[in-house]
Amino acid sequence: MTSSSGTNPARLRRNSREDARVTTPVEDRTSTNRRQAAAVRADEAFGAAVTDAYPETTTGDLTPSRVAAWDKAGDSALSGWVATNVPGAGPA
């Protein structure tokens, strides 16, 4: 996604933290707590995007099987992203 100025906000955030990422120990960059925090933030962002697109909704409920599928897909995507983008993280 790009902003109205044509830049990618996620890329800007990444570049602004480049020095911190390089000096952070690998075990801290790939810790379970950090992954869980990222997963929660991503899930909240998804919910916000959907409710913004459908403001007439009164709930955000999913069936238990869809919640399980969502969680599994999110875990897989996050693990793959970390393995691909975090230096020293290794394979997912």
- In contact, 82 and 89? CB cutoff 8 Å: yes
Instruction: Count the Cβ atoms, other than its own, within 10 Å of residue 35.
Output: 16
Least confident of 6-10, 51-55, 61-65: 6-10
Nearest to 87 by CA among 16, 23, 36, 38: 23
For residue 19, is pLDDT > 50? no
For CA atoms 53, 61, 10, 17, give the dihedral sign: positive
Residues in CB range of 70: below 8 A, 6 or more apart: 43, 62
Q: What mean pLDDT value characterizes the chain?
A: 76
pLDDT class of 32 with cuts at 50, 70, 90: confident
pLDDT single digits (tens) 39-55: 999 999 999 999 999 99
Q: Please tell me the pTM assigned to this model.
A: 0.59
- In contact, 43 and 73? CB cutoff 8 Å: no
For residue 83, is pLDDT > 60? yes
Task: Locate the domains of the chain by residue range.
Answer: 9-85
- In contact, 28 and 34? CB cutoff 8 Å: yes
